Amino acid sequence: MKSIKPSFSNENAFKKDIQLTVDENLINHFLMGLFYSKRTYSFVELFLKYTPGNMNHIAKLASNFFTTTVMQFLMPELVKEVGHGKKIDFRCGFSK
């Protein structure tokens, strides 16, 4: 573990703000946690989960745009491989 010596500003303009230090130890700890978990993260599920309640109906409508028909403009080969009008999701998993 590396020793970090953060320095914060003592200027009056910054005293009302929150000052935070993020070092590589925290980032490495987060990445190791992902590496040793056998979980898959879904973009659509996270999008729906973290959308505020009053905008939930808009988020559900927006999630319907994750189809091969809409995404074929970004990924032209998608319709050929998966089919036309199929729902898609971006998933990411970390593991050994």
What's the pTM value of the predicted model, to 2 decimals?
A: 0.48
- The residue to which tokens 């491989």 are assigned: 81
Categorize the per-residue pLDDT at 96 as very low, low, confident or very high, splitting at 50, 70 and 90.
Answer: low
The token duo for 32 is 């190791």
Q: Model confidence over 57-84: pLDDT tens digits?
A: 887 787 788 888 888 888 888 888 888 8
3-state SS, one letter per residue, for the chain: CCCCCCCCCCCHHHCCCCCCCCCHHHHHHHHHHHHCCCCEEEHHHHHHHCCCHHHHHHHHHHHCCCEHHHHCCCCCCHHHHHCCCCECCCEEECCC
